Amino acid sequence: MKFRFDNKNKKIQVIGYDLSYKKGKKNYSKSFNFITGKFYSTSSFDGKKEETSGWASELQNIYIENLNGDFFNKLLLHGNEID
């Protein structure tokens, strides 16, 4: 995860994340920038590689208030749409 301190709100803001994982027999890598809305996604299976990139809409600021399951689910919600 990537963070920065928001001086105006006096809170820690999540500005993006990079994630790699395996789901079934596919390997995934994702990068998401919550400031610009830009995302990159790569998946590979049987030596074939697929790359996707684009722009997300309707982003909201995400601040760290509680590091719990609900917080991480909120972050990953954006990334699940680009599997």
Mean pLDDT by 10 residues, the chain (83 residues): 91 90 92 91 93 85 78 67 52
The answer to whether 72 and 57 are in contact (CB under 8 A) is no
What pTM does this model have? 0.68
What pLDDT is recorded for position 68? 76
What pLDDT is recorded for position 81? 54
The answer to whether 41 and 29 are in contact (CB under 8 A) is yes
What pLDDT is recorded for position 39? 92
Parallel, antiparallel, or unpaired: how do β-strands 62-63 and 48-55 relate?
A: unpaired
Report domain extents, the chain. Answer: 2-80
